[in-house]
A and B are shown apart, each in its own frame.
Chain A
């Protein structure tokens, strides 16, 4: 066998490609991140906001772009494509071709003078052709890499840019394309998706009627940094639209275009766009026309309710818009059916929710790499191995294998990284160097020289707060040596700028006035570190989340408040001091809680990466909920997979099994946990994966438990598998215990189960009638095919409204179901001999106790709450603890498996490092002041504060900085003020209080 190569080629730089690259890089693999475009960010960079949190897309993506752009183990290869591959898993040669941008990336500073002088204007594809760009351009201001590129299709070679480029970065005579080879151990495909061209749906007039736009067009229109600077105006005349309509399933679930699959994200995207548009224009009326509303993700249903009830978005169910026409004002008249009648409605602006199609490079990629595409042109994967392409050693994640939303894509990305770590674990750290920071500048004894960077955040801050005024004000504050304003302080060019200014002006403290330190402090701390400052010489003022966004209608007061917040930050910054960090060894092993398919998959992935794993299962056997599932939609046998996985667990030497066991006590922290298990063992481990699964809801409704003809779907599955099924008339009721007041969200899997069971009945018992009583069918992705197949096979679908749910009674020994069918608006009476309740998923009740032990949060429904819904789906906010499977939220088997691999990958980014750094912001005791009373020892939950006999009869408190979590409770407890919490010292806080109240602003 040839030697393995510790490098990976990641193709596609969207959120999935970026996440995978970061994980792989953190695990010690060299990453080549290749993209056809000149920048990374993918379609996510185009989005204005993201559901269900309405987070600003760029705000959460930008730190990742910057992290990928600056990671020493990641090399960006832009404007390139792959041409061929040879070799075998572990050792491939990939042929790639790079197209010239005619700009030397090592010289370009991204200053933009070239574009200012370029006389040629074309359209910017990034802005969906709604804004101009120059022939030399960057697609968007936060671009990474921040390197201009010449569009050879536009450039006339006039030489203006070359003349003005001070960096001498423009090279006209580059060869237009250069081929070369990359040596890698694995390839990961993450090219994402492209939008279906709405023009193919000629009945909607896209491209013909100016006020018909696509969903991505509309994202750009909503975006503060988009072509209209965030003003929602219609393209034809710049008027502010008052009535807008969204048409769903444009080029999805559509036989005409051949795209019979569901694109998965468009329902939520339309709801989000409607909500955000209404935030822009208060009296706006928004209507969404859809077939089923597919809000199947974590807490999505609550978002739908909020959009409808709080924002007044109008939802028109069961609606396929026939066509639309334009009137002489450019308004659009929409024709649709409702309640068997045809209606016409007039709108100022129509948004087409265009679906996803395979990325344009799909075919050439498939050819170059020898992978199979499915019949729609997406990457083919197998049921339970969603991260493997058809070619060994080539993995896939994100929308390229099936349309999906960002969190699912990101989870898959980490999952694929986990699989690759299994393949290349033994050659990690062979091609990369650990990140080195410059030696720290000694600032002791220096007067404070503070630099203040005030962020516009597009118009997120600048649209409300007078940023230039805040900047000018900052300059007047004592200790401030420099202040500037930035469009986006978090962009890569600004990081460079900050470093330059620190160096040039010898700044010894830095303040960024922008968003929240909870998301952005690490980025800026890293920046100051790169400039040689200790990371604790940085402070943030949150003038967005806690100012411009919450005082949107009071710009003058918001500006005053922003000044105060900056003044407070400056007051603290004057007293900031460099803090040392100590390093701690990481115990190179994992504890996995839960022995279902998710827990087992995570354990195997971590063991494959080369680490010892302890897996703890409460019951006497592995498999969890999967033990009750006998068939799936795609026809695969879960029991087979379960058996194989179980065997792997039992045979893997690195895995220690703890059956009939639970976690009883946990101590320690990231890198150094110690657990006591109920089987008596004590385990040391570096990380924890929570995979405690979920439960099937036990119905209280529909006469469940009162008649043996009424059964849950798992029982139906069992009967079908065991040949015990003999019913002639089956009624399946959907959404049992889901989407109601007690449990507002969707259980995600029940529509799939319904189709799987219905199809199996129809196949094995064609004479049996099957009724599926549903609210919305949510067979997202390619599962839509099975919905169509079921309809073709004669399964009868009856849609009911939550206002009038089906009523189950027993009359003369016969079960009778009465339900008002929504299409025909009439009552239907069904007399089944078997009623199947498709009961939803419930969070594991054990989560409550466990959450307390782990000190991690849960949702209202009792699922664990991840660090960030969009971009950190498998991380907890607490370092070193990860989650996957139904512990997170309801998911399908293959999704749980992918997520388990993701949790494993994230865990391995810690395990592979060998050591972690402690917090610098810990408590210290002044031994002279300490009277040895022991109050702090009592107050400290972490055993960090301890009384020690320093000399005979003299007790003093000592604080272990590795154990100290920096909460500061001991400080407030100490009567003698002998304890100081570094970075939150009393003097620092007192200064902030004073600054907050100093209305004349003298401090």
Chain B
């Protein structure tokens, strides 16, 4: 993992560092899943801030890049399961697009692991919470975004 390789001592955040994560949730399934996690009181870390979009297909690569550039340590994109997209195939397009974005992140030395695409349905409150826990942990392992800590811009 290139980003791990680049991690400098001290940039693991030291004391008080908390991963900062932006999540894009589609309105119909994954945002509803997030609400269900709430209604069911499934607990997860508060590091993630959700931005609601109508469909995962709305998420542009530039959103991900911009978030990382501004210091996000991780970006999560969630949508309906393949086949369940409220708009039929928005999530399929998101999948293609996000794969490209991940490659780009890898090339830039930020590391593809800082971004994740996950399908979460309206009835998967527990999965939503679990994804939040897991992804936060993963980002914690990866340490702070290299861009914000003087990490090199290119691999």
Interface residues in B, total, Cβ within 8 A = 51
> Which of A10-18, A249-257, A540-548, A574-582 touches B?
A540-548
- Shortest C-beta distance, B3 to chain A (Å), equals 18
Q: Indicate if the CB atoms of B58 and A969 lie closer than 8 Å.
A: yes
B22 at the interface (CB under 8 A from A): yes
In B1-25, which residues have CB < 8 Å from any A CB?
Answer: 20, 22
A999 at the interface (CB under 8 A from B): yes
Give the docked Cα–Cα distance between A998 and B97 (Å).
26
Known contacts A989-B51, A993-B63, A997-B70; is A546 also within 8 Å of B38 by CB? yes
- Shortest C-beta distance, B18 to chain A (Å), equals 8
Give the docked Cα–Cα distance between A663 and B55 (Å).
27
Inside 8 A of B59's CB, which chain A residues have their CB?
Answer: 972
Q: Indicate if the CB atoms of B66 and A54 lie closer than 8 Å.
A: no
Residue of B35, B45, B63 touching A989 (CB-CB under 8 A): B63
> Chain A, 864-891, contact with B by CB distance < 8 Å: what is the 0/1 string?
0100000000000110000000000000
Query: Which residue of the partner chain A has the closest CB to B72?
Result: A997
A986 at the interface (CB under 8 A from B): yes
Inside 8 A of A986's CB, which chain B residues have their CB?
Answer: 60, 62-63
Give the docked Cα–Cα distance between A865 and B86 (Å).
14
Q: Indicate if the CB atoms of A968 and B57 lie closer than 8 Å.
A: yes
Give the docked Cα–Cα distance between A516 and B28 (Å).
12
Q: Indicate if the CB atoms of B41 and A550 lie closer than 8 Å.
A: yes
In B24-55, which residues have CB < 8 Å from any A CB?
Answer: 27-28, 31-32, 34-46, 49-55
Inside 8 A of A549's CB, which chain B residues have their CB?
Answer: 38-39, 41
In A975-1003, which residues have CB < 8 Å from any B CB?
Answer: 981, 984, 986, 989-990, 992-994, 996-999
Q: Indicate if the CB atoms of B54 and A561 lie closer than 8 Å.
A: no
Known contacts A993-B22, A993-B67, A997-B71; is A554 also within 8 Å of B46 by CB? yes
- Shortest C-beta distance, A669 to chain B (Å), equals 12
A281 at the interface (CB under 8 A from B): no
- Shortest C-beta distance, B106 to chain A (Å), equals 20
Give the docked Cα–Cα distance between A989 and B59 (Å).
10
Among A857, A942, A965, A969, max chain B CB count under 10 A is at A969
Inside 8 A of B42's CB, which chain A residues have their CB?
Answer: 550
Inside 8 A of A557's CB, which chain B residues have their CB?
Answer: 46
Inside 8 A of B37's CB, which chain A residues have their CB?
Answer: 545-546, 550
Compute the total of residue contacts between A and B using a CB distance below 8 Å.
152
* Given contact pairs A564-B49, A967-B90, a sample of 17 additional A-B residue pairs in the complex whose CB atoms are under 8 Å apart: A542-B50, A546-B34, A550-B37, A551-B44, A557-B46, A855-B87, A857-B123, A941-B87, A941-B89, A968-B57, A969-B87, A972-B57, A984-B54, A986-B63, A990-B63, A994-B66, A996-B20
Inside 8 A of B62's CB, which chain A residues have their CB?
Answer: 986, 990
Residue of A544, A550, A971, A990 touching B44 (CB-CB under 8 A): A550
Complex A-B: 30 CB contacts under 8 Å: A56-B39, A518-B35, A545-B38, A546-B34, A550-B46, A552-B41, A568-B51, A857-B123, A865-B123, A877-B28, A939-B57, A941-B89, A967-B90, A968-B54, A968-B55, A968-B58, A971-B58, A971-B60, A972-B57, A972-B58, A973-B93, A984-B58, A990-B62, A990-B63, A990-B66, A993-B22, A993-B66, A993-B70, A993-B72, A997-B71
Q: Indicate if the CB atoms of A545 and B39 lie closer than 8 Å.
A: yes
B122 at the interface (CB under 8 A from A): yes
Inside 8 A of A969's CB, which chain B residues have their CB?
Answer: 55, 57-58, 87, 89-90, 93
B113 at the interface (CB under 8 A from A): no
Residue of A517, A565, A865, A965 touching B87 (CB-CB under 8 A): A965
Query: Which residue of the partner chain B has the closest CB to A558?
Result: B46
B102 at the interface (CB under 8 A from A): no
> Chain A, 814-852, contact with B by CB distance < 8 Å: what is the 0/1 string?
000000000000000000000000000000000000001
- Shortest C-beta distance, A519 to chain B (Å), equals 8
- Shortest C-beta distance, B146 to chain A (Å), equals 15
Give the docked Cα–Cα distance between A993 and B66 (Å).
8
A484 at the interface (CB under 8 A from B): no
Give the docked Cα–Cα distance between A852 and B80 (Å).
13
A627 at the interface (CB under 8 A from B): no
Give the docked Cα–Cα distance between A859 and B59 (Å).
27
B129 at the interface (CB under 8 A from A): yes
B88 at the interface (CB under 8 A from A): yes
Residue of A550, A967, A997 touching B43 (CB-CB under 8 A): A550
Give the docked Cα–Cα distance between A865 and B31 (Å).
17
Give the docked Cα–Cα distance between A558 and B63 (Å).
25
Inside 8 A of A989's CB, which chain B residues have their CB?
Answer: 51, 53, 63
Q: Indicate if the CB atoms of A855 and B86 lie closer than 8 Å.
A: yes
Query: Which residue of the partner chain B has the closest CB to A55?
Result: B39
Q: Indicate if the CB atoms of A996 and B51 lie closer than 8 Å.
A: yes
B155 at the interface (CB under 8 A from A): no
> Chain B, 84-120, contact with A by CB distance < 8 Å: what is the 0/1 string?
1011111001100100000000000000000000000
A715 at the interface (CB under 8 A from B): no
Inside 8 A of B87's CB, which chain A residues have their CB?
Answer: 855, 941-942, 965, 967, 969
Residue of A516, A568, A966 touching B54 (CB-CB under 8 A): A966
